[in-house]
Structure 1
Amino acid sequence: MNAPTTFQGNQIGTPVRYDPSVERVDAGEVEAIKGLIATMRYVNEKTFDDSGHAIRSVHAKSHGILEGYFEVDANLPPELAQGLFAQPGRYPAVLRLSTVPGDILDDSVSTPRGLSVKIIGVKGERLSGSESDVTQDFLLVNGPAFGAPTPKKFLPVITLLSKTTDRVQGLKKALSLVMRQVQRVLVAATGRPNLTVATLGGQPETHILGETFYNQAPIRFGDFIAKISVAPISPEMVDLKDAPLNLNGAPNGLREAVVEFFRKSGGVWEVRAQLCTDLELMPIENAAAVWPEEASPYRRIGRIEVPPQTGWSEARSFAVDDGMQFSPWHGLAAHRPLGGIMRARKEVYEMAKKFRSERNGRIIEEPREKPNFVD
């Protein structure tokens, strides 16, 4: 673990204390969120009309559904011992691995990967809308920042992408092949992948279990402000970092790779927090800004352990893909989502949850204890 951040004077590295004034609503945000809701509903309706089954408007396809444990480290320094992490503990958890699109595509259309974590049995003051629940959700993607700074800037991007929902997959596969080549050139030139190119199909075809995931937009971290990351640390998973995975001719190749891995091995991820130490370098209302690790590194706060198991099954999909919702607004008030993109997610995700529940005739509710998956 990195050395504790100092609190002396005004030295560089002193965490910024949370205050409601760190959030500033853009003048066009309310209208932009209305546009996002309408766009995501279009995606929901289009995929439902084509399949007769309601799915998520983003991250529709799951590649792994896992149960394990979320452990909070003991003896954290005061600035990290905040909220859920104030006391050591071990909680049941559900993990869902996914990819970004709102339609179900062959995996050779290679897009950014997601990891959603639902921690069960969490007690404390709750966020509005989750008062009766005992869960804490973290939603993460394999990139350190979001693809747009604000809801207003995100709306035209997602509107354009929504028009490709359920269109001919052959065209998407061809575009993905081109975008992966473009991405290789960009990485060679800049040392960093381009998120827009990845979203258009330029995600490298690598093993999903080798990815490091980030929640991308800031959250309250007790007295402070942070971003969260989850990185593989068990040797078998570390070996999968950037490991090639040929997905051509394997429509569900990512899922098959996850199932094969957990059939033989367990996995461990490290949970990390990056504290905001400078509101200029680490803005709250610009979700596209990468917070520089030179100014504030990610530091360990816990771990996730998943034993060997069935990595995905129709029964697990029925229980989690259809029966659960993941949202950054499920959780403790001490981990309130911050910034425009997070504010937009609250309303957009509630619309999508209601749509899935009504169309599928299914109650979507928060678990109160460790799930008992019957595979």
Structure 2
Amino acid sequence: MNFSPVRYSADVAPPEPDFDRHMRQAIDVIEDFERGSVEGEGEGRAVRFAHAKAYGLVRGTLEILDGAPPEYAQGVYGRPGTHDVLVRYSNGLSHLGADRMLGNVVGMAVKVFGVDSTTTLPDEATSRTMDFNMINGPIFFCNTAAHYTFLSKLFIDMPKYRLDGRRGNHRMYYNWVTGYGTLPPEEWAWDELGALLRLGARARWQNLLLSSFFSMGAMRHGDYIAKLRIRPTDASAAGVRARVLDPTSQDEVFRPALVGELARSDHEFDFQVQLCASLETMPVDDLTVEWEEHESPFVTVGRLRFPRQDIGGEDNLAAADGLSFTPWRCPPEHVPIGPIQAVRKEVYRRSSVLRHELNGQHRAEPASAADVLPDRS
């Protein structure tokens, strides 16, 4: 290691001014959407305000590898062993519909079982699960609780913008930068818009098993600060047959390709940690800035494996939608850091509680992966 990683402290990211008020506004927007989604999305059920459309729920294992350098072998990554996992692949937006209308910014939510620690969520401290919320890009396009409200509205309105073509795009950019016309010019979200455009440009219409997924936000990594990446191994990526997807060919392209590849072969991924080397060049409170690998490389601390399996059928999608994922379902030594991470704690919880209530689902963390997804390999 040719750098000294930044050590974690509780005050590494100062609280955002007027945080509670902005968070309540975001919650109001999201809860209004979820109530309306029961009829608005056409399926008679409430959907998530983000990552609404599931592409599949996958059963696998995460092996925490032995022998990682001490700075990386922190917290759960310092305890070698193998855990069952469930992985939910999804679209990033708030809606259901054809893949070509929703776009190719996609998510990978990972639930790890058998974690030997309490979580930071008081109502389920003993669940022994740990979640990772990842997308197929290293940056995010929102930095504050205030902008999170506008982001929520943007996600909800995105299909309307896209249906209106170029004019719709212009209106979307204006609303995003100006906070729907409410922000003074000195607070306009130019950096956030740039991140939105860069993320869209980097996303690919490809098999989900070929994509790398990132935590976007920073988190405590024991004594240090880190971001995460899940990347297919070279051998696993080389074996994927259905590689490039054509969203104009049919309404569904991501799910059929995922189902087909998992039915045919096993797949393997590197679970990696990138340590913060400098708070100036690798900030924790500005998610529009990519942490450069020349300053701090990603180091593999685990291996995620999917056995060959059948994830086809509506029961798989129903199981995916019954689960909740939040980066705050984690041990204290891996607590999320920064304003956006902080707003997610209550927003995700409230969204999950309301969605389960509207859908008549019992909300509880599963005790095992088999309780949710029996082996159908």
**SS of residue in 1 equivalent to 2:369:** coil
Q: Give the aligned CA root-mean-square deviation in angstroms.
A: 2.7
Q: Quote the Cα distance in structure 2 between the aligned partners of 1:175 and 1:238.
A: 39
> Residues 48 and 214 (structure 1 numbering): CA distance in 2 closer, same or farther, change over 3 Å?
same
Q: Identity, % of aligned pairs?
A: 26
1:21 is matched with 11
> How far has the Cα of 1:108 moved from its partner?
1.2
Please tell me whether the aligned partners of residues 125 and 332 of structure 1 are also in contact (alpha carbons under 8 angstroms): yes
Matched, 1:149 2:143: yes
> How far has the Cα of 1:27 moved from its partner?
0.7
Deviations 1:55-105 (A, max 9, x none): 111001111210010110101111011111111110000001111111102
Deviations 1:18-75 (A, max 9, x none): 1101021111322221221122223212221223201111001111210010110101
Correspondence 1:37-56 to 2 at 5 A: 37-50=27-40, 51=42, 52-56=44-48
Answer with 32-41 or 336-345: which moved more: 32-41
Q: Structure 1: which 5+ runs fail to align?
A: 7-12, 180-192
2:364 is matched with 365
1:113 is matched with 106
Deviations 1:306-344 (A, max 9, x none): 0010134311222221x2101101111111011111111
> How far has the Cα of 1:198 moved from its partner?
7.0
Correspondence 1:329-344 to 2 at 5 A: 329-344=328-343
> How far has the Cα of 1:234 moved from its partner?
5.0
Query: How many pairs align?
Result: 348
1:122 is matched with 115
Give structure 1 regions of 4+ aligned residues with deviation exceeding 3 angstroms. 167-176, 197-204, 238-243
**SS of residue in 1 equivalent to 2:247:** coil
Please tell me whether the aligned partners of residues 149 and 285 of structure 1 are also in contact (alpha carbons under 8 angstroms): yes
**SS of residue in 1 equivalent to 2:336:** coil
Q: Quote the Cα distance in structure 2 between the aligned partners of 1:364 and 1:248.
A: 37
Q: Quote the Cα distance in structure 2 between the aligned partners of 1:146 and 1:86.
A: 28
Matched, 1:88 2:80: yes
2:279 is matched with 279
Matched, 1:75 2:74: no
Q: Structure 2: which 5+ runs fail to align?
A: 173-192
TM-score normalised to structure 2 length: 0.85
Please tell me whether the aligned partners of residues 91 and 121 of structure 1 are also in contact (alpha carbons under 8 angstroms): yes
Deviations 1:276-329 (A, max 9, x none): 1111111122222211211111111111000010134311222221x2101101
Q: Quote the Cα distance in structure 2 between the aligned partners of 1:208 and 1:24.
A: 36
> How far has the Cα of 1:171 moved from its partner?
5.0
Q: Quote the Cα distance in structure 2 between the aligned partners of 1:207 and 1:156.
A: 30
TM-score normalised to structure 1 length: 0.85
Please tell me whether the aligned partners of residues 127 and 331 of structure 1 are also in contact (alpha carbons under 8 angstroms): yes
> Residues 28 and 61 (structure 1 numbering): CA distance in 2 closer, same or farther, change over 3 Å?
same
> Residues 168 and 195 (structure 1 numbering): CA distance in 2 closer, same or farther, change over 3 Å?
closer
> Residues 331 and 306 (structure 1 numbering): CA distance in 2 closer, same or farther, change over 3 Å?
same
**SS of residue in 2 equivalent to 1:103:** coil
Q: Quote the Cα distance in structure 2 between the aligned partners of 1:27 and 1:141.
A: 28
Q: Which amino acid aligns with 2:140?
A: F
**SS of residue in 2 equivalent to 1:20:** coil
Q: Quote the Cα distance in structure 1 between the aligned partners of 2:38 and 2:242.
A: 35
1:220 is matched with 220
Correspondence 1:126-137 to 2 at 5 A: 126-129=119-122, 130-137=124-131
Please tell me whether the aligned partners of residues 149 and 289 of structure 1 are also in contact (alpha carbons under 8 angstroms): no
